[in-house]
C-alpha cells in the first residue's frame, strides 16, 4: 500500500475504504480515547499509518463538546516557580490525555480577565489560575458562569484550589531557626494581597509565639516576591545598629536578595546571619552558600489541580500539600555572644 503523496490529505473515508470497513468502524478504531485492541482495529490503525492519515483531534473533540485542552493563567513565566508549576501542570494534563496552554497576566486583573476570555473563546475545557491576588474577581465570575476551574499555589477559600500548606511551611521555617538557638528572627514575607504571603507570615508568627518570642515589628517586612525586594529588605535589616541573627524569607528570590545585601555588608550567610527561603527552587542548592528552603511539592499540586478540573464539585474543594523543610548551609546555629538586640 502506497503512502499518500506530499500535500495530499488522507481522509477517514480513505482509511475506511482501504481497510474494508465502514467509516464509523474506522473512526472508533482510531479514537485514542476508546481505541479497541481487536485485530480488526489494529488492522485499521496499521492501514492509517501506511497511508499517512492524521486524525483531526480538534474537530473530533468539538463534536464531543470538548477540546481536551486546559488553559493555564500565570502572572509571568520569567518567575521560576511559575515556570516550574506550568511544566508540572503540562505533565499532569498530558497524563490525563489533555493539552495545556499558557497565558500570562503580569499581575494585572484586567489583563488576566482578557487572557481568560481569550482562552475560553478557544473552547478550553477548564482554566487553572496561578495568579495571586486575593482581590481578584475572576474566580468569582468563573463560579457564577459554572466554568470548570481550579486555583494553584493560592486559594480564595471558595473556588477549587490546589496549593502547598503555606501556614505549615512558614511554621517549619521559623521553628527550624528557633531550634538552632535563634531568638532575634526577622521575617520578610510576600505582598499582603496574596494568600501565600498571609499564610506564611501566620505560620512564622505561630512558631514565634510558641517559643515566647515577640518579634520587633520593624523586623517583619512585607513586600514583593522579587530579588530586588529581598535586597531592599536585607539592606533595611542588616544596615541597622541592631540586626537579626536569622531571617525567614518567604520565597527563594527574597532570600537571594538578602544574600546580596549581606555580602555588601561583609556578613557571612550561615555564620553571621542564618537564612531560610521558600519553594526550594533548583538554584537554592547550587548557590555559593546552599540555601535552606521549604520544599513545595509542585507535582502533587499539579495532579490535584487536574483532578479538581476533572471532578467538579468534589470535596474538599481546597486541597493542601504538606511542604518539607530542606536544611542546608545557609541556616547555621546562633553563635554565642552575638545578639541582634541593642
What are the residues facing 133 on neighbouring strands? Answer: 194
Query: What mean pLDDT is reported for the chain?
Result: 89
Residue 313 phi, psi (nearest 5): 85, -5
Whether the per-residue pLDDT at 295 is higher than 60: the answer is yes
Q: How far is CA 63 from CA 7, 37, 203, in A?
A: 26, 24, 49
> Do 175 and 207 meet the contact criterion of CB atoms below 8 Å apart?
yes
* Tens digits of residue pLDDT in 189-240: 998 888 999 999 999 999 999 999 999 999 999 989 999 999 999 999 998 8
Q: Which 3 state secondary structure label does DSSP give 287?
A: coil
Q: Which residue has the higher pLDDT, 270 or 105?
A: 270
> Do 150 and 71 meet the contact criterion of CB atoms below 8 Å apart?
no
Cα dihedral 326, 330, 336, 341, rounded to 10, equals -100
Q: Which residue has the higher pLDDT, 162 or 223?
A: 162
How many helices (H) and strands (E) the chain has is answered by 12, 12
Q: pTM for this structure?
A: 0.79
* Tens digits of residue pLDDT in 304-327: 999 999 988 889 999 999 999 999
What are the residues facing 127 on neighbouring strands? Answer: 71, 149
The pLDDT value given to residue 323: 98
Name the one residue in this structure whose C-alpha cell is 505582598: 191
Other Cβ atoms closer than 10 A to 253: 25
> Do 103 and 72 meet the contact criterion of CB atoms below 8 Å apart?
yes
Task: Say what angle helices 12-19 and 23-30 make with each other, to 10 degrees.
Answer: 100
Q: How far is CA 204 from CA 97, 174, 207, 226, in A?
A: 40, 6, 5, 20
Q: How confident is the model at residue 160 (pLDDT cuts 50, 70, 90)?
A: very high
Percentage of the chain with pLDDT > 70? 90
Instruction: Report the residue count for the chain.
Output: 342
Q: Which cell numbers in the block locate residue 236? A: 533595611
Other Cβ atoms closer than 10 A to 59: 9
Amino acid at each position: 500500500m502506497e503512502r499518500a503523496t506530499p500535500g495530499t490529505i488522507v481522509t477517514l473515508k480513505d482509511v475506511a475504504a482501504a481497510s474494508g470497513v465502514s467509516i464509523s468502524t474506522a473512526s472508533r478504531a482510531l479514537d485514542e480515547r476508546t481505541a479497541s485492541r481487536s485485530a480488526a482495529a489494529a488492522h485499521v490503525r496499521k492501514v492509517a499509518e501506511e497511508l499517512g492519515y492524521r486524525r483531526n483531534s480538534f474537530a473530533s473533540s468539538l463534536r464531543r463538546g470538548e477540546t481536551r485542552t486546559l488553559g493555564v493563567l500565570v502572572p509571568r513565566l520569567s518567575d521560576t516557580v511559575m515556570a516550574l508549576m506550568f511544566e508540572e501542570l503540562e505533565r499532569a494534563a498530558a497524563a490525563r490525555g489533555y493539552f495545556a496552554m499558557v497565558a500570562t497576566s503580569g499581575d494585572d486583573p484586567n489583563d488576566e480577565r482578557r487572557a481568560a476570555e481569550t482562552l475560553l473563546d478557544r473552547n478550553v475545557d477548564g482554566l487553572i489560575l496561578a495568579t495571586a491576588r486575593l482581590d481578584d474577581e475572576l474566580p468569582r465570575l468563573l463560579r457564577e458562569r459554572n466554568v470548570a476551574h481550579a486555583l494553584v499555589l493560592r486559594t480564595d477559600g471558595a473556588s477549587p484550589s490546589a496549593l502547598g500548606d503555606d501556614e505549615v511551611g512558614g511554621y517549619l521555617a521559623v521553628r527550624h531557626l528557633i531550634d538552632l538557638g535563634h531568638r532575634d528572627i526577622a521575617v520578610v514575607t510576600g505582598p499582603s494581597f496574596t494568600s501565600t504571603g498571609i499564610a506564611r507570615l501566620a505560620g512564622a508568627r505561630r512558631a514565634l509565639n510558641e517559643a515566647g518570642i515577640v518579634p520587633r515589628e520593624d523586623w517583619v517586612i512585607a513586600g514583593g516576591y522579587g530579588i530586588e525586594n529581598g535586597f531592599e529588605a536585607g539592606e533595611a535589616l542588616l544596615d541597622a545598629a541592631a540586626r537579626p541573627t536569622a531571617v525567614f524569607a518567604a520565597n527563594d528570590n527574597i532570600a537571594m536578595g538578602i544574600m546580596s545585601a549581606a555580602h555588601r555588608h561583609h556578613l557571612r550567610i550561615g555564620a553571621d546571619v542564618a537564612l531560610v527561603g521558600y519553594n526550594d527552587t533548583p538554584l537554592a542548592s547550587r548557590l555559593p552558600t546552599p540555601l535552606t528552603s521549604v520544599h513545595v511539592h509542585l507535582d502533587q499540586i499539579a495532579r490535584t489541580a487536574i483532578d479538581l478540573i476533572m471532578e467538579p464539585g468534589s470535596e474538599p474543594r481546597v486541597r493542601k500539600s504538606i511542604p518539607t523543610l530542606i536544611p542546608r548551609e545557609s541556616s547555621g546555629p546562633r553563635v554565642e555572644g552575638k545578639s541582634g538586640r541593642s
